[in-house]
Amino acid sequence: MNCLTLKQSNCKNCYKCIRNCPVKAIRFSGNQAHIVGNECILCGQCFVVCPQNAKQIVDGTEKAKVLLQSGDPVVVSLAPSFIANYPGVGIEAMRRALKRLGFHDVEETAIGATIVKNEYERMLREEARDVIITSCCHSINLLIQKYFPAALEYLADVVSPMQAHCLDIKRRMPQAKTVFIGPCVAKKDEAEHYEGIVDAVLTFEELTRWLQAEGVTLEKEIDEAPNSRARFFPTTGGVLKTMAQTQPGYTFIALDGVENCIAALNEIVAGKVHKCFIEMSACVGSCVGGPVMEKHSKALVQDYLAVAGYAGEGDFPVTQPDPLDVKKGFSYIAPHLAQPTEAEINAVLRQMGKFRPEQELNCGSCGYSTCREKAIAVCQGKAEISMCLPYLKDKAESFSDTIVENTPNGLIVLNDKLEVQQINSAARRMFNIRSASDVLGAQVVRILEPGIFRQVLESCRNVTGHRMYLAEYRVYVDMTVMYDRDSHLLIGIMRDVTEEASARERKEIISQQTIEVADRVVEKQMRIVQEIASLLGETAAETKIALTKLKESIMNE
């Protein structure tokens, strides 16, 4: 299970992979997603949906090149979906191009599909089986092995078309090495797990890069082969299209998409399904909707038409092997992670703020279908509590609400129509408002002169520290008004400076009174000085006259 790995990238708080993983086989640690190999079914959805390209498929090109250098003939088994991935390029054109890369020959995997189809028909004729599930899709096989062990008895114990074809090649050419090329991640794991059948696996993307590196151009050329009905295999219901479907009492069903297959497996395990032959494909549209089809945008109708137009009406001529030679066993793959206890699950739910069943929103934003599944994943070390969006939202709102409600400054929020959207307790006390509901949605003019808000809204320029006197409330405030262009909201912050303003007024009054007293004292002193001066002037004159007379008297004597 080393074919799908994670590379370090900007993988943070996205959770797109876990939302799209049908079996939740992804663990988060340090804000990085990690694939849980023992749980993964290699459907490749995480690879397809990752916006940061954090998931990567292990490249098998070098391994194929080593095989080419070995000296043994290397034969390609080319998946029939190639006609959808390389429009207008038939098998003969593919053969010429791949031979230029050094391959001995190229054959269609559809030859192996014919062998598998013949074995399915034999099972229906000769074996008294109740339900038969096709074993062509390795991801579906892994799904049953890991999550539905009770359905293992219904899984057809037959090799996949890839394996059947490579076994046939090695039967005809004992020294040959085989390389499968297709649109599937899971085939790399299948080749590694069942050694000695398929020697290397390439994706269409890897093949395209290799062709480009060698300067090999694919020629647009379509060839015809009337006996090629098994080319239908990579489409939904393609297996059934190649089968006779004449066995009495059986119903033939085709399902695609892991979710649909899981729902059907639940019904089968519950004993609600009988006498059915069920074709299951993990990918929507089957293999033409594979995770490494080069066209990232789904074109299932075009791809189906390409396959249908290339498929013939008869079967490939094959030498059908003994049933034992194409028999394949499937065993239960037990999970490593233990199931937590109810107490442990409930403890995590409480940490997430889920104290009652009605608080379990099951919104799926974390990637898990229910809050309980998320709690189990947390207990198993696969998820973090912080992945819960309602939990984070409630936590953030609780924190911000605490700040808003407890700040001593009045706070009022208006929309661009000057309607009140939020008002905190400090503002309500300031404006003598009993409850926020009394003014929410109302025009701000009901409680406050809107001039400054209109000014900021029209100019888109914030105002800070604007002193206002709210005469109706006998309050002085320092008003700051900000406009948030993104949310189209006006935010008014009012600092009550009534005491400060009153103290300043008292100080100004005292200062004025002091000035007036000083003026009166100065005026009075000036009068006193003037009176003293007047008196001193009269006394000096009289003294002068007396002294003059005394002087004259003395001189006369």
User: Does some domain include residue 17?
Assistant: no
Strand 489-496 relative to strand 475-484: parallel, antiparallel, unpaired? antiparallel
User: Does some domain include residue 555?
Assistant: no
User: Does some domain include residue 276?
Assistant: yes
Query: Any bridge partners for residue 32, and if so which?
Result: 29
Mean pLDDT throughout 110-114?
Answer: 97
The answer on 370 and 319 residing in a single domain is no
Domain range enclosing 343: 338-406
Q: What local confidence, expressed as pLDDT, does residue 33 receive?
A: 82
The answer on 277 and 146 residing in a single domain is yes
Residue 510: pLDDT above 60? yes
User: Does some domain include residue 297?
Assistant: yes
pLDDT tens profile 288-317: 999 888 755 578 899 999 999 999 999 999
CA distance 137 to 201: 15
Residue 8: pLDDT above 80? no
The answer on 314 and 281 residing in a single domain is yes
pLDDT tens profile 139-179: 999 999 999 999 999 999 999 999 999 999 999 999 999 99
Q: Which of 349, 384, 406 is the endpoint of a domain?
A: 406
The answer on 398 and 415 residing in a single domain is no
* φ, ψ (nearest 5 deg) of residue 385: -60, -35
End-to-end CA distance of the chain, in Å? 150
Strand 251-256 relative to strand 276-281: parallel, antiparallel, unpaired? parallel
Higher pLDDT, 480 or 4: 480
Q: What is the CATH number of the domain that holds 447?
A: 3.30.450.20
The answer on 434 and 381 residing in a single domain is no
Contacts of 344 (CB under 8 A, 6+ apart): 379
User: Does some domain include residue 152?
Assistant: yes
The answer on 213 and 102 residing in a single domain is yes
Show the tokens assigned to 442: 């109302």
The answer on 396 and 417 residing in a single domain is no
Instruction: Give the residue from 277, 315, 317, 316 showing the smallest Cα distance to 123.
Output: 277
User: Does some domain include residue 262?
Assistant: yes
* φ, ψ (nearest 5 deg) of residue 455: -60, -45
The answer on 251 and 148 residing in a single domain is yes
pLDDT tens profile 75-88: 999 999 999 999 99
Q: Provide DSSP, 313-334.
A: SSPPP--PPPGGGGB-------
Residue 38: pLDDT above 90? no
pTM of the entire structure? 0.72
Residue identified by tokens 């054109």 is: 93
The total number of structural domains in the chain stands at 3
The answer on 392 and 446 residing in a single domain is no
The answer on 305 and 356 residing in a single domain is no
Amino acid in position 81: S
Q: What local confidence, expressed as pLDDT, does residue 549 receive?
A: 67
Q: Are 284 and 258 in contact (CB under 8 A)?
A: no
Q: Which of 496, 522, 541 is the endpoint of a domain?
A: 496
The answer on 259 and 140 residing in a single domain is yes
User: Does some domain include residue 34?
Assistant: no
The answer on 263 and 351 residing in a single domain is no
Mean pLDDT throughout 66-70?
Answer: 95
Q: What is the CATH number of the domain that holds 347?
A: 1.10.15
Distances (CA, A) of 271 to 123, 130, 140, 250: 21, 11, 19, 16
CA distance 44 to 187: 11
Q: Which of 326, 355, 382 is the endpoint of a domain?
A: 326
